[in-house]
Structure 1
Amino acid sequence: MPSLTTELEDAFRELPYNGMGDLDCAGAVVNPVSHSAPVDIPVELLAYIFTLTLPAKIGTYSAVPVLSKRTPHKPWILGGSWALGQVCGLWRAVALSSPTLWTSFTLSTRLWERELPLLNMQLERSRTAPLDVCLTFVKSTTELPFKTFLSNLISHCGRLRKVHIEGDPSPTTVTLWSLGQMPILTDVVWNKVRPSEIRHLLNRAANISRLTILVAGSRTVLPPLMAKVQSYKARYTTWSILSKEVSAAVSLAERDILGWGRMDGSLTLPHLRRLAVHGRLLGHFVAPALQEICVTGLIDFVPPFLQRSGCVLTRLMLFNFAGTGPELISLLRSSPSVATLEIDFLSGLFPAFTALISALTIVAGTDVDNLCPCLVSLSLGDRVDRMDYPAFVAIVDMLRSRWRTPGRESPSLKRARIYLGDIRMKTSGRWRQWMQILVNEGMDVAVVESTRRDYPSMNSWRDNWTVI
């Protein structure tokens, strides 16, 4: 397949994340019906573009994406990879000859009988390509269609690459995982399921590198498997389980710790590059190779942790930030290498918000050391709509001062997102006009409602940041 230009990759990289599965969202390159399509586009390139236009996840309960339901005057109109074959003969030929377009399955126990033929056809079209499967177990009047296809799917368990399980499967369903080996399975998410049942899956998969267990309780992740895990997200209730698993994970590079209860002792994570954790747990860790950190709540333990670890941060995310302006500025002063800064402010902390904006503003002609001199990307969240117009003007001035940094030939701050609540967004027209000035100058900046689908909501920043 020919290599893609940077411009083409940038144009389509965010499509799966944004949920743009409809053809109209893909623009002139992939929709010849409403645009003038490029001539002689390579088939391999067209197939690659098709994969980028598919939604990252179809939905919780729908196994086959539907653009339009059946009516007395028209049939069902399917979305995703099914829609590609309805455009023209070339597109259909490319879609049918591209197994990677058919490898993602989202199933639930509410599977419709009418979806079975389509799913079996999709499984056949995927040929021998690796499969990504999301299973959701909910109460249903009948699980026969689901069990029928699941048995067929598990017969291809040697092709499973990613598995995401939600809900509480029956013991019979869980034991199906013990029917075959899964040599290429690398990603596992286990949520809302009895943690002890995961052994049926883990015992058959020896090469898992990204593992998420979002249910607390007793579980057994064997040391040989933990030794291969590079990205791990788990919920804990005891220090003994945490220390045992972390000690066995000698290759761990990315870690998301969800926990509560009493924590005793200290752990060193020599290879860890990414860490997401509640601030109060930082007193128990040392991570000399850490580059990116996401801290929830208080930041009191962050400076001692950084000093103890001796690491160099390039990305700092503060979710549900609870602290004062001086504490925040002091933390940033001690982390001059931060290039990406993302802060979600709790209600009642507007003084800290304004103090940060003032400290980040570069005043021309002064000899004061700039705060965050390496800052390239900035995201700030005000979900409670405390920001008034003067504060917003101050933000624009700050962005402009860092966009055209005195003494630098190239721009410093290149990307900025200001997340607001739905009330403030109703009067954001004038603010957007101010931002448009920076956009016209070439800066990637936007005012965004924190609940819109096409940008990460503040509540999901941590989930979007983590690998799984």
Structure 2
Amino acid sequence: MPGKYMDDEVSIILRHMQRIAKLHAEYTGPQPRDNAAIAKQAREELAQEDRDAVYYPAESTRGCSLRDTVLAIEELLAQIFVHCLPRMPLYQCNRPSPLWAPMLLAQVSRRWRRVALSTPRLWTSYTLLNQFNLSLFRLWMERSGASPLSLYADHDSLEVVFAYSRRFGSLNLDLEPSSIPFLAAIRDKVPRLYCLYIEFPKGTPLATRSASPCDAFEYAPNLRSVLLKRPAMDFKLPSSQLEQLTIFNAPGDFLVRACHGASSLTKLYLAAQTIPADFLDMPLCNLVHLKEMWAYDVSRPEFVPGGLERPTCKIATLLSKFCCPALDKVNIGSLPRLLQSDHASFQSQISSFLTCSPRITKLKITDLMGEFYEDIILAILAHCPALEKFETRHHSEFSAAFFKRLTYVAGVAPLCPRLRSFNTRCAHALESAPAFVEMVASRWRVVDDDAVAARLQAITFSCHHPSCTATLDGFAAEGLALTCDYWP
């Protein structure tokens, strides 16, 4: 009875491939292996096994061997099914749908359904939003066995979700300020939680020092990653064990308080909403293991009579409160909205931060408002001696003087002497294009082991100068990785 054990085409193919691999491993003949002959032998052996399945009871030696073969194929299918699940960020969860795995897999055949229903890892992710189906959720949880769960819940589903708190692996909560008291129900009851995402709606009052902190997650022994968006209050967290921390739209003092004691952090993402008047009196935050940092100013601009925007950038003030001696990668955002009179204090504060972080090799500066200050960029680059990759995005133009500061002159170290990748997605003025090409040429012609300056490996730029573009094209032919947003 062919197909007694393998009742779908994919399972038959997998079983055939497994048998061919086994025959290849067992082959010891003097002649080279004949692939066609081995494939034929595999088909014959599998057909004989299907015939034997009719006559050999499961309790017999032959029956046990056939059962083991089937189980091995089902284990392989289960591993493949796990890779069929929708790919999404760690803090997002699966929405049940017959068009996606795992429900889609259970519709293919009886065998696939049996394998899918007996694979708990397929049923561990669930989103409870917008009038969720309680019966379906409970069935999903039953199928997930004892595996760690990834759940996404809002205020209306907290009571249902919290019943499974001891199995939380990744938890995403979309809360209202009135939800905070409900979190007390899971205090000391999240032993497996490793990723926490909490978001409050737009317009929520920002956290203040006077607000009583929430301690629901203070004793989560496996918590490693936390994301807080528009936090309405302070959260007591197991700071010393956190490895990744993300806080969006929060006051600067909240950000610094959350980072104090987080000595194990390797990744930090901050978006400051406001900077209080007494911020500079706060103690310095030492993050000795931090490797990657993303800092952004998202404060809303003020408007003066006539509709003019009043500069409010405070990103350097925020960064001045951090000491990160092992920092390797930095992304700094919102450099515009800065008064000319504030440049001196900005440079002083950003220099203070960079001096405490001398090992930065990757730097990205984003400037979404379109305004651009070369002296600020040069002040930053002057304090990054180990920089290897520089990227900036804005809508203004670099001057020739900017590129001359980066040009290598034999025996004299330029700014960022170890620079290997230069990515500027901005418009280069015609008058500055020759200076840009000269800078690239000076760094392209050095040798890789030069003690003064490293050789460029990649550049991304916008250039409207035909002769300069032709020169760069020649460097590309020699091996320079070249990306041009504009090519005549």
The normalised TM-score by structure 1 is: 0.58
Q: Which moved more, 1:437-446 or 1:283-292?
A: 437-446
2:321 to 273, 276, 284: 284
Distance 1:167 1:217, change over 3 A: closer
How big is each residue's C-alpha offset from its partner over 1:384-441, in whole Å with a ceiling of 9 and x where there is no partner?
Answer: xx56899999999988997x765349x966677779xxxxxxxxxxx9xx99x96997
Distance 1:328 1:129, change over 3 A: same
Contact 2:391 2:422 in 1 (8 A): yes
Q: Match for residue 86 of structure 2?
A: 54
Task: Tell me the SS of whatever aligns to 2:294.
Answer: strand
1:331 aligns with 2:389: no
Q: Match for residue 318 of structure 1?
A: 365
1:134 aligns with 2:158: no
Distance across 1 between alignment mates of 2:429 and 2:381: 25
1:303 aligns with 2:340: no
Distance across 2 between alignment mates of 1:362 and 1:151: 64
Q: Match for residue 99 of structure 1?
A: 120
Structure 1 counterpart of 2:214, one-letter code: R
Structure 1 counterpart of 2:148, one-letter code: P
Structure 2 counterpart of 1:264, one-letter code: L
Q: Match for residue 237 of structure 1?
A: 251
Contact 1:58 1:64 in 2 (8 A): no
**Cα distance, 1:97 vs. partner?**
5.0
**Cα distance, 1:202 vs. partner?**
1.7
Task: Tell me the SS of whatever aligns to 1:55.
Answer: coil
Task: Tell me the SS of whatever aligns to 1:302.
Answer: helix
Q: CA RMSD in A?
A: 5.2
Q: Match for residue 269 of structure 1?
A: 286
How big is each residue's C-alpha offset from its partner over 1:112-137, in whole Å with a ceiling of 9 and x where there is no partner?
Answer: x4x852x4443333322222222345
**Cα distance, 1:56 vs. partner?**
0.6
Distance across 2 between alignment mates of 1:188 and 1:341: 32
Task: Tell me the SS of whatever aligns to 1:174.
Answer: helix
Q: Match for residue 125 of structure 1?
A: 143
Distance across 2 between alignment mates of 1:48 and 1:356: 53
Task: Tell me the SS of whatever aligns to 2:288.
Answer: coil
Contact 2:420 2:457 in 1 (8 A): yes
1:293 aligns with 2:333: no
Select the structure of larger CA radius of gyration.
2
Distance across 1 between alignment mates of 2:379 and 2:243: 32
Task: Tell me the SS of whatever aligns to 1:328.
Answer: helix
Distance across 2 between alignment mates of 1:311 and 1:407: 24
1:184 aligns with 2:202: no
Q: Which moved more, 1:250-259 or 1:190-199?
A: 190-199
**Cα distance, 1:264 vs. partner?**
2.2
Structure 2 counterpart of 1:407, one-letter code: V
Distance 1:57 1:332, change over 3 A: closer
Structure 1 counterpart of 2:321, one-letter code: H
1:214 aligns with 2:229: yes
Structure 1 counterpart of 2:322, one-letter code: F
The normalised TM-score by structure 2 is: 0.56
Task: Tell me the SS of whatever aligns to 1:276.
Answer: strand
Distance 1:159 1:447, change over 3 A: farther
Distance across 1 between alignment mates of 2:459 and 2:84: 25
Structure 1 counterpart of 2:225, one-letter code: R
**Cα distance, 1:82 vs. partner?**
3.2
Q: Match for residue 214 of structure 2?
A: 199
1:228 to 222, 236, 241: 241
Distance 1:154 1:389, change over 3 A: farther
**Cα distance, 1:95 vs. partner?**
4.6
Structure 1 counterpart of 2:142, one-letter code: E
**Cα distance, 1:192 vs. partner?**
1.2
Distance across 1 between alignment mates of 2:461 and 2:117: 42
Distance 1:407 1:203, change over 3 A: closer
Gaps of 5+ in 2: 1-9, 22-72, 296-314, 336-345, 463-468
Distance 1:154 1:359, change over 3 A: same
Contact 1:217 1:237 in 2 (8 A): no
Contact 1:340 1:375 in 2 (8 A): yes
Task: Tell me the SS of whatever aligns to 1:232.
Answer: strand
Q: Match for residue 268 of structure 2?
A: 255
Task: Tell me the SS of whatever aligns to 2:214.
Answer: helix
Distance across 2 between alignment mates of 1:163 and 1:343: 35
Distance across 2 between alignment mates of 1:45 and 1:439: 48
Contact 2:174 2:200 in 1 (8 A): yes
- Identity of aligned pairs, percent? 19
Distance across 2 between alignment mates of 1:438 and 1:92: 54
What aligned pairs does 1:393-412 form with structure 2 within 5 A after superposition?
406-408=446-448
Contact 2:456 2:480 in 1 (8 A): no
Gaps of 5+ in 1: 1-31, 66-76, 138-142, 420-430, 449-468
Q: Match for residue 35 of structure 2?
A: none
How big is each residue's C-alpha offset from its partner over 1:323-351, in whole Å with a ceiling of 9 and x where there is no partner?
Answer: 53354245334323223433232x4x323
Distance 1:343 1:103, change over 3 A: farther
Contact 2:85 2:100 in 1 (8 A): no
Paired residues, number:
364
1:78 aligns with 2:125: no
Distance 1:204 1:154, change over 3 A: farther
